[in-house]
């Protein structure tokens, strides 16, 4: 707490994913051998066609402010992508390009929430949903799901969490941190509840749509009766490995898109122009061109699940997408390892960092205090070495 700073920022938590990544970086700089499995960041390089498009954009003298909500050509590419991959039809006035999906989500919270509005968060949920909501005056309401149900909520649990103050629901499928993928039937069952409460806006975060090992990706907005109340969030960080390029986008009901455009016009003036030009080319390529990344993630999932199964007290399910495992490690609570007593997932993650030199993220940050998140967006050698060290540290 610093009284010189605003209440807003004093009350806000630091992003646990970014904090752990910073800590791991700091320890590495001190010469410690740290394997980073904390950040959800593909370790592949950017496809050549994306690099070429960015270089060409610079040569073509793209340098000025773009339209606040994105270049017309980029919106066109996004509209084509939504149609091609998600069976969604949007007009240009329904699309807003932002500085990462994170900004898309922050815009949505700012334009939709009033003080005291409740935000339904199927838990575990992505780390920033809660603080982005709090910052906009919203109140996060967790709907807990455990490893026994593959971390997916039931329609009954959703309905039980709804109150007259419920304004928004945010979820990701494939899910960060659990890797769970909602099937068409499961999403339809949630939609059947939501249609009874027309004031609730659904934010469907589909940034991992292509990193799906079970097949079908289903967009909530593709259900006709949900289209007018759903915002589809996506971006190029995960599918094209373009994390640092900071491009995300939404397809939304027009009044919401307009509001996001207005918000962004006062806050950033729009996303980086070179990254936008490169995104046009990225989206024009068929998702099959990045299948090699998905295949590699699938292999690594098999590898890490196999290695984790050899470690006593670590309970995993089989994640169906994204590049995370979210094991339940509550077996270790109350146990003393190398003179240190583990009271929480936070203690457990710190123990792994300091004793095994492996960076992970505590599940508390994702709304599940029994788990930790391990990102397997790392080389097979790093995964093998990391799991060997974890096994030794927990022996």
Which residues are near ligand PMP by CB under 6 A? 40, 100-102, 126, 172, 176, 205, 207, 235, 237, 243, 248
- 333/344 Cα distance (integer angstroms): 6
39 binds, among ligand PMP, ligand GLU, none (CB under 5 to 8 A by kind): ligand GLU
* Contact (Cβ atoms closer than 8 angstroms) between residue 272 and residue 254: no
37 binds, among ligand PMP, ligand GLU, none (CB under 5 to 8 A by kind): none
Q: What is the token pair recorded at 231?
A: 């915002």
Q: How far is the CB of 258 from ligand GLU (least distance, A)?
A: 26
* Contact (Cβ atoms closer than 8 angstroms) between residue 57 and residue 274: yes
Q: What is the token pair recorded at 359?
A: 């960076």
Q: Which residues pair with 321 in a beta bridge?
A: 212
* Contact (Cβ atoms closer than 8 angstroms) between residue 133 and residue 108: no
Q: How far is the CB of 207 from ligand GLU (least distance, A)?
A: 8
Q: Is the dihedral of CA 31, 33, 39, 45 positive or negative?
A: positive
For residues 37-56, which are near ligand GLU according to CB under 6 A?
A: 39-41
| Total of chain residues touching ligand GLU, rule CB under 6 A | 10
For residues 176-195, which are near ligand GLU according to CB under 6 A?
A: 176
User: Angle 128-135/101-112 helices, nearest 10 degrees?
Assistant: 40
Which range, of 34-42, 60-68, 85-93, 104-112, touches ligand GLU by CB under 6 A?
34-42
248 binds, among ligand PMP, ligand GLU, none (CB under 5 to 8 A by kind): ligand PMP
**Which of residues 43 and 159 has its CB atom nearest to ligand GLU in the complex?**
43
Q: Does 18 bind ligand GLU (CB under 6 A)?
A: yes
- 23/30 Cα distance (integer angstroms): 11
DSSP 220: G
**Which of residues 189 and 267 has its CB atom nearest to ligand GLU in the complex?**
267
**Which of residues 174 and 327 has its CB atom nearest to ligand PMP in the complex?**
174
Torsion of CA 231, 232, 238, 243, to 10 degrees: -40
Contacts with ligand GLU, residue ranges (CB under 6 A): 15, 17-18, 39-41, 102, 127-128, 176
């Amino acid at each position: 707490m610093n009284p010189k700073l605003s209440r807003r920022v004093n009350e806000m938590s630091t992003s646990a994913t970014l904090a752990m990544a910073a800590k791991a970086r700091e320890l590495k700089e001190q010469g410690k051998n740290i394997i980073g499995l904390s950040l959800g960041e593909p370790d592949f390089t950017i496809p050549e066609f994306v690099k070429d498009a960015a270089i060409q954009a610079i040569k073509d003298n793209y340098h000025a402010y773009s339209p606040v909500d994105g270049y017309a050509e980029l919106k066109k590419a996004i509209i084509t992508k939504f149609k091609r991959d998600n069976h969604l039809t949007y007009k240009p006035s329904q699309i807003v390009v932002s500085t990462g999906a994170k900004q898309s989500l922050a815009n949505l919270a700012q334009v939709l929430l009033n003080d005291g509005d409740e935000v339904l968060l199927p838990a575990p949920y992505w780390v920033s949903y809660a603080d982005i909501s709090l910052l906009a005056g919203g109140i996060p309401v967790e709907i807990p799901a455990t490893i026994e149900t593959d971390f997916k909520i039931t329609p009954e649990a959703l309905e039980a969490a709804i109150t007259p103050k419920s304004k928004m629901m945010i979820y990701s499928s494939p899910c960060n941190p659990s890797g769970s993928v909602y099937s068409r039937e499961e999403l339809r069952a949630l939609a059947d509840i939501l249609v009874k409460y027309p004031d609730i806006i659904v934010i469907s975060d589909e940034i991992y749509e292509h990193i799906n090992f079970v097949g079908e990706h289903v967009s909530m907005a593709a259900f006709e009766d949900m289209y007018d109340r759903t915002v589809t969030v996506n971006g190029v960080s995960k599918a094209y490995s373009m994390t640092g390029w900071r491009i995300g986008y939404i397809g939304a009901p027009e009044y919401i898109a307009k509001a996001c455009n207005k918000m962004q016009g006062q806050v950033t003036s729009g996303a980086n122009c070179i990254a936008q030009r490169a995104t046009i080319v990225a989206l024009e390529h068929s998702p099959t061109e990045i299948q090699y990344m998905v295949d590699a993630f699938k292999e690594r999932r098999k590898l890490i699940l196999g290695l984790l199964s050899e470690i006593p007290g670590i309970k995993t399910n089989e994640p169906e997408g994204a590049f995370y495992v979210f094991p339940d490690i509550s077996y270790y609570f109350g146990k003393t390892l190398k003179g240190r007593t583990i009271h929480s997932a936070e203690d457990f993650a710190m123990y792994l960092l300091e004793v095994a030199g492996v960076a992970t993220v505590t599940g508390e940050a994702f709304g599940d205090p029994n788990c930790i998140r391990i990102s397997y967006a790392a080389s097979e050698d790093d995964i093998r070495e990391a799991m060997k060290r974890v096994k030794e540290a927990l022996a």
